[in-house]
Amino acid sequence: MRKNTFSKISFLLLATVIMWVKTYIVYKTSFDIKIENFTQEFILFINPLSFLLIIFGLGLFMKEKTRIRWVIGTSVLMTIILIANMIFYRFYNDFLTIPVLFQASNMGDLGSSITELIQPVDLLMFIDIAFLIWISRKPFFSKTAIMTRKEKTAYFLMAAAVFFFNLGLAEAERPQLLTRSFDREMLVKNIGAYNFHIYDALLQSKTSAQRALADSNNLVEIENYLNANSKEPNEALHGVAEGRNVFIISLESFQSFVINNELNGQEITPFLNDFINESYYFENFYHQTGQGKTSDSEFLLENSLYPLGRGSVFFTNANNEYHATPEILKEFGYYTAVFHANNRTFWNRDIMYNTLGYDRFFDITDFEVNEENSVGWGLKDVSFFEQSVELLKDVPQPFYTKYITLTNHFPFELEEEDKFIDEFDSNDGVVNRYFPTVRYTDEAVKVFIEKLKEAGLYENSVIIMYGDHYGISENHNTAMAQFLEKEEITPYDTVQLQRVPFIVHIPGITDQDPKVFSEVTGQIDLKPTILNLLGIDASDDIEFGTDVFSEDRLPFVVLRDGSFITDEILYTRGVCYDVQTGEPAEDANACEPYMEKAKNELDYSDEIIYGDLLRFFEADAKVDSDQLTP
């Protein structure tokens, strides 16, 4: 383009360069995007440019004053998008997607969590907007000449050339980039945050149409895959807990690194450490949640399907047909209930619990909540468990009940009188506060078990506890490295930190012969494990998990971001690691045999959910003994 052409679009180009530089600065300061070589750094640097050239370039079709307003208004919008992603990333270590925006009803309940995430420095993001408004009033910029058709064509050809140059480099660096929609960091690193949101919108329109186009034939390939990979559950433990009451305890933000660990010479989880010595404990059990966090862990528990890579199934597909654990157990005389002292609409639970087949949801209205017994997100765990046992008096037996704790929730607030352990000493307040709230939840679980014994509900029970998702994100790696006495937290370490506690306690059985299992397992395995312990044969069901006690199970767990773990290798962010050493595997191809399996499992599960394919499926769960009676 000629010199006089540049003068016609000088304000537009100035705004483009400013937003380009600002976006790159945000990439480097607010997102933990892993860069492995110069090419990746260059791609990260140029990827905002094509979108910004095009979006600002639309102003070329407008009159002078309207063009300036368009440029400034677009700058404001792009800045808001950046800030929204920054705030979301500070806790979730992830980027916003359209399904997450559908969860906006959750925001009103976030309270102190949002306050913790918003920082005064965020206001600096608008300094360039003020500068653009000021400079737009200068004569040189306020009078912009109209461009000819040839000049506009040349401009957009240049923008298109930048886009395809960027995409070509990205595809060369990461082949089949656009097929990995679950790896948002990879997408943002290669095509940019703005283009990612457009790509996300295209995915949303595609998935919205999947249900209308689906039919029973879509399920055949998936059933064949699951049948070919199914493993027999453990026969010796089949029905060992038959007819017992079931207590499922979802431990909020509980990670395994606190188990059997100390802070300042004090046990972080003294009760659980002792309880594990009377139970079956899985030390390599991983959470597999995505953007739905606790709701995703519930979805995994009840369905043995993977959560979605974008948003929460509880919001996006709450009206689907499922064959969930509560629905199955009701067929065998179980009463099913959830206890959670939060608003019933949070995570759309009031709708989803009906879909899953629960008989009763004890929500915040069923509990007495006041200033003395609440903190942070609401009712303290000790009071929650005490009141829950009282509410159980009206619940028919046998029952299947789920308890979702609250106190150990970001930003991990706790009053001094409830701190059984001191905070950690680092420069990171979130990590420091995490340990007292973990310790408090540990004490609350102790109270719950004692109350069950007092109420005569303990002996005839099976108690299952699991961590729902991580509590400390990668944004706090420096403090975590300090606590774990490591020089740094590597991507390998990050995956290992996704391990959460999984405890199976059956009074009269596990306390006689407790065991610690090292097999690799995950939340996807909860449903088949529970059903087998209760003596229910659901072998013809659609499940991606396997009974954790199965003698021929494949030691394989895939996380929602595409990472996977076996007993020998761990794959994450394009690198294959040796599990024993934590270093890149000597055989760089060691992970390849599992890559297709990991992708298939995530894709097939997504297809089931987006297509609502279980409406075409009829399962036939069976129990080996006489029908149970409530």
Q: Which residues contact 341 (CB under 8 A, 6 or more apart)?
A: 363, 364, 367, 369, 378, 379, 384, 387, 406
- Predicted confidence (pLDDT) per residue in 113-172, tens digit: 566 667 777 788 888 889 888 887 766 555 555 677 888 888 889 999 999 998 888 888
Residue 25 lies in a domain: yes
Helix (H) / strand (E) containing 379:
strand 378-379
- pLDDT at residue number 542: 94
Tokens of 502: 């999984």
Structural tokens at position 130? 């003020």
Q: Are 132 and 72 contacting, i.e. CB atoms less than 8 angstroms apart?
A: yes
* Whole-number pLDDT of residue 400: 98
CATH number of the domain that 289 lies in?
Answer: 3.40.720.10
pLDDT tens-digit profile of 410-440?
A: 889 999 999 999 999 999 999 999 999 999 9
Query: Do 154 and 244 belong to one domain?
Result: no
Q: Same domain for 607 and 543? A: yes
β-sheet bridge partners, residue 250: 404, 466
Say what the pLDDT of residue 3 is: 47
pLDDT at 125: 85
Which one-letter amino acid corresponds to residue 254? Answer: F
Position 620 in a domain: no
- Of 184, 210, 236, the one marking the end of a domain is 210
Per-residue model confidence (pLDDT) at position 183: 65
- My answer on whether 177 and 269 are in the same domain is no
- End-of-domain residue from the set 168, 191, 210: 210
Residue 371 is predicted with a pLDDT of: 85
Domain boundary among 210, 226, 248: 210
Residue 116: what pLDDT? 63
**CA-based nearest residue to 560, from 474, 609, 612, 495:** 495
- Are 203 and 228 within one domain? no
**592-609 pLDDT per residue, tens:** 999 999 999 999 999 999
For residues 322 and 405, membership in a common domain is answered with: yes
Active site members: 294
For residue 263, what are its two tokens? 């802070």
Query: Are both 180 and 258 inside the same structural domain?
Result: no
Domain tally, the chain: 2
Tell me: do 505 and 447 sit in the same domain.
yes
Integer Cα distance of 22 and 128 in angstroms: 9
229 with 202, same domain: the answer is: no
- Residue 59 is predicted with a pLDDT of 85
Structural domain containing residue 160: 3-210
Residue with tokens 């595997």: 585
Shared domain for 260 and 169, answered yes or no, is no
Which pLDDT value is given to residue 113?
57
Cα gap 128→79, rounded to integer Å: 10
Considering only CA atoms, which of 396, 511, 518 is closest in space to residue 457? 396
Give the orientation angle of helix 38-57 with respect to helix 149-173, to 10 degrees. 150
Q: What was the pLDDT predicted at 140?
A: 57
358 and 458 fall within a common domain = yes
Q: Are residues 435 and 470 in the same domain?
A: yes
Q: How many CB atoms lie within 10 A of CB 205?
A: 9
- Asked if 202 and 317 sit in the same domain, the reply is no
- Low-confidence residues of the chain, pLDDT below 50? 1, 3, 108-110, 625-630
Measured distance CA(422)–CA(255) in Å, rounded: 18
pLDDT score at 519: 95
